[in-house]
Amino acid sequence: MKRVAVAVAALLAAGCMTTEPPAPEVKLYALDCGSFDLANTGMFSPNHEYDGKPGKLSDPCFLIRHPKGDLFWDAGIPYSMVTPAGSASPTKTMRDKTIPDQLAQLGLAPADIEYFAISHSHYDHIGDANMFAASTWIVDKAERDWMFRDAMRGQPVFSYYSKLEGATTTLIENGADHDVFGDGSVTMIAAHGHTPGHRVLLVKTAGAGAVLIAGDMWHLAEAQTLRTVPANNTDKAETLASMDKVEALARDNKARLVRQHVPEDVAALPAFPAALE
């Protein structure tokens, strides 16, 4: 009887030591990959909530450094779409920092990045995508099919990501979650509707907790409370379901939400080259 008790105690002690593996050292960096200054944000809802209201939008890229490799998320505004200085255009598109220059501050180059992924393939997220054609591209199959459909070939936006077609590719099918490093620290999660394969990224850091990088789930802070869906989203019902899914995910993980186009959310992260970790 006594021997059994000792054995049980030993098992319990062993269990205590093995149930919680140490969290991997994950570092999250936000890079400046452009911004917008809009005289009118009415485009973000067909129901006129934003008509005539100006707005500034951020356009970050993210680097996630993990002991097993680096993941780069989104690729910014194409330089060819930047608004010329002095323009009176009501829509100003800015991009004044390059990805290589920013990576160099960390002693890195695009060729060092093992994994590349995008929230989705709109032009303001794929400007420098070809730069990562030598990385392993992790992509939602629905998004990849949409990017390489016949109607896209020949469109100006196609040229910014065309080289990904030949990249080493990990396809995520049927809306599954994708655990990038196999330890639950960095997960690509389906949040379809803005585009057919739009995704968000859940990053768990050891010290600063969880962060949910929310792509274009909401372009404006008010869009989250008003639940507005831009007219150009590919599926409104799917978008609304994804909003619920992403908010529940943030709650369940006590995650800090980073809506990529909301400047306050991006400014709340450590200023590059500092990292959240």
State the residues that interact with Zn ion by CB under 5 A: 124, 216
Question: What are the helix (H) ranges across 183-256?
Answer: 221-226, 236-252
Q: SS3 of 174, please?
A: coil
Instruction: State the first-to-last Cα distance of the chain, in angstroms, to the nearest integer.
Output: 48
Q: How far is the CB of 216 from Zn ion (least distance, A)?
A: 4
Token match 């070809």: residue? 130
Q: How far is the CB of 104 from Zn ion (least distance, A)?
A: 25
Q: How far is the CB of 41 from Zn ion (least distance, A)?
A: 13
Q: How far is the CB of 119 from Zn ion (least distance, A)?
A: 8
Strand order in the sheet with 27-38: 91-94, 27-38, 55-66, 69-73, 115-117, 136-140, 169-172
Q: How far is the CB of 116 from Zn ion (least distance, A)?
A: 17
Specify the residue, 116 or 181, whose C-beta has the smaller distance to Zn ion. 116
Specify the residue, 73 or 181, whose C-beta has the smaller distance to Zn ion. 73
159-185: burial string, b at 16+ Cβ within 10 Å, e else? ebbbebeebeeeebeeeeebebbebeb
Cis peptide before 273 (omega within 30 of 0): yes
Specify the residue, 124 or 143, whose C-beta has the smaller distance to Zn ion. 124
Strand order in the sheet with 256-258: 178-179, 186-190, 199-205, 209-213, 256-258
Specify the residue, 75 or 190, whose C-beta has the smaller distance to Zn ion. 75
What is the rounded distance in angstroms from the CA atom of residue 211 to the CA atom of residue 205?
A: 8
Specify the residue, 185 or 233, whose C-beta has the smaller distance to Zn ion. 233
Specify the residue, 178 or 198, whose C-beta has the smaller distance to Zn ion. 198
